[in-house]
Amino acid sequence: MSNLNSPNREYPLERTRNIGICAHIDAGKTTLTERILFYTGMIHKIGEVHDGAATTDWMEQEKERGITITSAAVTARWKQLKEAGIFKLREEEDIRVNIIDTPGHVDFTAEVERSLRVLDGAIFVLCGVAGVQPQSETVYRQAEKYSVPRIAFVNKMDRTGANFDNVVKDVRTKLGANAWPILIPIGAEDNLIGQIDVVNQKAIIYSDDALFGSKYTIRELEGDEIAKAKAAYQGLLDEVCSHDEELGMQFLEEKPISIQELKSALRRTVISNKIIPMAGGSAFKNKGVQYLIDAVIDYLPGPLDIEPQKGHVIDEPENIVTAMPDDNGKFIALGFKLWSDKFGRLVFFRVYSGCVRKGDTIYNPRTRKSERVGRLIQIQASVHKDIDCCYSGDIAALVGLKDVRTGDTFCDESLDVLLEPPTFPEPVISMAVEPKTKADQEKMGNALQRLSEEDPTFFVKTDEETGQTIIAGMGELHLEILCDRLKREHKVETNTGKPQIAYRETLTIPADGEGKLVKQSGGRGQYGHVVLKVFPSEKGKGVTVENKVVGGTIPKEFINPAKAGCVEATLNGIIAGYPVIDIHIDLVDGSSHDVDSNENAFKMAAIFAMKDALKKAKCILLEPIMAVEASTPEDYQGDIMGDLNRRRGKIQGIDTRGTTAIIRTEVPLAEMFGYSTAIRTLSSGRASYSMQPSHFEQVPNNIVEQISEQRGTKNA
């Protein structure tokens, strides 16, 4: 045991794994999690998603809809398999695996984002029939962003049309991933019986007994399995040798390579994100899960195997602090999720350094406040177990902290360090919401506040002109679930308006602007004068403001109020009052009055200057464009393409899988309301689709007029 471990911890760091299970909607993540919990002895009865009985789908809405909405944390322990002398772990060495089951639906992408931020590795689940789907690409990019090593599991190999080789090709071509099979399914569809273990060159055959595939036998390879296994082994060995210097040298020197040496080298290449091992099986039919867990232990990193987290001292970005995974170090953790339930407000956190005990005082650098740790709990989906201490590398929850946001750092009081928080996408849809009874107004306001604290992609604001409460999120389903939670958890019945699109405005050319506020009629006056320039900025840059005032024409103390005025002015554009994005502003000049100038005067002058500049900058209206993928039997392909064209869709490509056509399109979100009903009607219920936000694009002129008129009516 390394000296980084506290003598009191149950599992040393080297025998801890923090993994996420993520994928496109309906690829089988929750079913896989359920099987892992069963085989590791954490549950004694398998619950199915379609029966509303899965352990990690514990919310009422999840049980009813058969989808995962919130990421659930569970902890399992696993003794590695010892058959045939393949594994060299000692009998008593079991491993703790902390698992987070994440949602697949694009509306809940924030759950995936924040989970991947704190995980060391991930199981990337793919459907054996559909292969790489749109949300698979999103999840893959999120894992790339946080450099999370992953293993791909091709699930549903028992389904009609499942093809492991096609999915491997798909992963290589569509995702550009360096994927190599390590567990190849034996058979497919109704004939799926087991897996070829490529590294050990053995066959694993799972039994169809009442114990849900808990029993299996290991036999020698037979027939065409031998050639398939040899080819896969040679490909894997060549690839690992080309990426791992140590094994590469051994190969060049023609020294024999043992199973253990290949596994160690493969582990190093997976951890450095050079190779993604692929396994195939069926979670629902209980085939291939045990060896997948072994692959997680063998190839995915523990807290000691990844680059230590780096943060910086607050207000000193160049002063870097490293959070070493060491129980004896100073405490540093990241709060990645907030959740309110009957126990109060839970803060899920991952400890990167040191440990935290019940009764300790922890410091939040964002608020500059310290709080006492009342309760520490280990989460088992909806079941909470009190613990006394949480060590480095572990994931747990705190109860009772007051001023907390997603992405807050918690640390020792002697430190002032900030870790990088997860980043989240902008909402694409909004709607007005009001309580059914006036008495519930305050209750609704408090409930919405709590929900927006929990979910970083859910925004609440009050429209100043109409007084309406506007909620914004990632899609219709997202807002529907949140309104349902208002009713069930907070006992507030609401009426909702028609969903509104989150349009944006931006400029096309640079422009100058000048604004003056002069009020000097009796008593203390107001004087502010700002001159600025605005420029179009890169996509995704948001709003940036730079001070280029020379000679003190705007006194130093009025620069920040002027900047604040510039930013405030971008909240309401000049075409239809939507926020202005991707714009850079230079404050260049101005003037002041010795007596009459104040902060408010300069803020107002900056707002006037911005309105002046925006009028000259040829602003355009932008709308969110969705990447839509429709899967349909070929008979209905023409009708569905015609309908997508009518919705201003641009066809990006058509693929064929068997008798199914996959149509990839980009369609404005404004045209996608009610599409689920339309596609079912056109295909007699046989087609399906998925969509996710892609980018913003200019709105055609004839539609701009309609939108402006609608906003005009609203603002009247």
**Tens of pLDDT along 603-637?**
999 999 999 999 999 999 999 898 888 888 888 89
Query: What's the CA gap between 167 and 174, in Å, rounded?
Result: 10
**Residues 279 and 192 placed together within one structural domain of the fold:** yes
Average pLDDT value for the chain: 83
Backbone angles phi, psi at 672, to 5 degrees: -100, 0
Q: What angle do CA 263, 268, 271 make, to 5 degrees?
A: 120
Q: How far is CA 526 from the centre of its chain?
A: 48
Q: Can you give the CATH number for the domain in which 52 is found?
A: 3.40.50.300
Instruction: Answer yes or no: is 212 within a domain.
Output: yes
pLDDT tens digit sequence for 238-253: 999 999 899 999 888 8
Residues of the chain with pLDDT > 70, as a percent, come to 88
Q: How far is CA 46 from CA 29, 153, 283, 285, 558, in A?
A: 14, 20, 11, 12, 64
Write down which residue in 469, 500, 531 finishes a domain.
500
Query: What's the CA gap between 68 and 56, in Å, rounded?
Result: 8
CB 709 within 8 A of CB 577: no
Q: Any idea which residue has 């896989």 for tokens?
A: 32
Residue 318 burial (10 A CB sphere; 0-12, 13-18, 19+): exposed
Backbone angles phi, psi at 34, to 5 degrees: -60, -45
pLDDT surpasses 90 at 3: no
Query: What's the CA gap between 423 and 407, in Å, rounded?
Result: 9
pTM score, two decimals?
0.71
Token pair listed for 627 = 């990447």
| Burial track 42-56 (b if 16+ CB lie within 10 A, e otherwise) | bbeebbebeeeebbb
Query: What's the CA gap between 298 and 55, in Å, rounded?
Result: 26
- Which of the four pLDDT bands, split at 50, 70 and 90, describes residue 343? low
**365-374, 375-384, 427-436: least confident range:** 375-384
**Residues 138 and 255 placed together within one structural domain of the fold:** yes
**Residues 185 and 74 placed together within one structural domain of the fold:** yes
- Which of the four pLDDT bands, split at 50, 70 and 90, describes residue 167? very high
Write down which residue in 419, 449, 474 finishes a domain.
419
pLDDT surpasses 70 at 49: no
Backbone angles phi, psi at 636, to 5 degrees: -100, 5
**Residues 149 and 274 placed together within one structural domain of the fold:** yes
Close Cβ partners of 645 (under 8 Å, ≥ 6 residues apart): 651
Which alpha helices (DSSP H) does 133-195 contain, by range? 134-145, 164-174
Instruction: Answer yes or no: is 23 within a domain.
Output: yes
**Residues 232 and 106 placed together within one structural domain of the fold:** yes
Indicate the number of domains in the chain: 5
The H or E element spanning position 587 is strand 583-591
Query: What's the CA gap between 144 and 150, in Å, rounded?
Result: 10
DSSP assignment letter at 523: S
pLDDT surpasses 80 at 232: yes
Instruction: Answer yes or no: is 679 within a domain.
Output: yes
The H or E element spanning position 708 is helix 701-715
**Residues 391 and 462 placed together within one structural domain of the fold:** no
Instruction: Answer yes or no: is 37 within a domain.
Output: yes
Provide the strand spans (E) within 198-256.
202-206, 216-219
Q: Quick count: other Cβ atoms within 10 Å of Cβ 144?
A: 15
The pLDDT value given to residue 250: 87
3-class secondary-structure state, position 616: helix
| Burial track 1-35 (b if 16+ CB lie within 10 A, e otherwise) | eeebbeeebebbbbbbbbbbbbbbbbbbbbbbbbb
Token pair listed for 46 = 């398998």
Instruction: Answer yes or no: is 6 within a domain.
Output: no
Q: Quick count: other Cβ atoms within 10 Å of Cβ 547?
A: 15
- Which of the four pLDDT bands, split at 50, 70 and 90, describes residue 104? low
CB 357 within 8 A of CB 398: no
pLDDT tens digit sequence for 115-147: 788 889 999 999 998 888 877 877 888 888 888
Q: What angle do CA 454, 457, 459 make, to 5 degrees?
A: 85
**Residues 90 and 66 placed together within one structural domain of the fold:** yes
Q: Can you give the CATH number for the domain in which 452 is found?
A: 3.30.70.870
Q: Any idea which residue has 């902008």 for tokens?
A: 426
**Residues 520 and 476 placed together within one structural domain of the fold:** no
pLDDT tens digit sequence for 51-76: 444 554 445 554 554 555 555 677 77
pLDDT surpasses 70 at 105: no
Instruction: Answer yes or no: is 8 within a domain.
Output: no
**Residues 182 and 249 placed together within one structural domain of the fold:** yes
Mean pLDDT of 248-273: 90
Query: What's the CA gap between 79 and 148, in Å, rounded?
Result: 24
If phi over 0 gives left and psi between -120 and 50 gives alpha, with beta otherwise, what is residue 583?
Answer: beta
**Residues 28 and 138 placed together within one structural domain of the fold:** yes
**Residues 290 and 170 placed together within one structural domain of the fold:** yes
Longest CA–CA separation in the chain, Å: 101
Instruction: Answer yes or no: is 251 within a domain.
Output: yes
**Residues 566 and 454 placed together within one structural domain of the fold:** no
The pLDDT value given to residue 64: 54
pLDDT surpasses 80 at 166: yes
- Which of the four pLDDT bands, split at 50, 70 and 90, describes residue 312? confident
Residues of the chain with pLDDT > 90, as a percent, come to 26
Q: Can you give the CATH number for the domain in which 655 is found?
A: 3.30.70.240
Write down which residue in 299, 319, 334 finishes a domain.
299
pLDDT tens digit sequence for 484-524: 888 888 888 888 887 778 889 999 999 999 999 988 766 67
Q: How far is CA 468 from CA 15, 206, 216, 431, 437, in A?
A: 53, 59, 61, 10, 15
More confident residue, 639 or 438: 639
Q: How far is CA 315 from CA 319, 322, 366, 417, 443, in A?
A: 9, 16, 11, 9, 37
The pLDDT value given to residue 450: 82
The pLDDT value given to residue 82: 45
Mean pLDDT of 534-547: 88
pLDDT surpasses 50 at 89: no
The pLDDT value given to residue 452: 85
Instruction: Answer yes or no: is 675 within a domain.
Output: yes
Q: Can you give the CATH number for the domain in which 522 is found?
A: 3.30.230.10
- Which of the four pLDDT bands, split at 50, 70 and 90, describes residue 714? very low
pLDDT tens digit sequence for 27-36: 777 788 788 8
CB 77 within 8 A of CB 43: no
pLDDT surpasses 80 at 571: yes
Question: Residue 340: which domain range?
Answer: 309-419
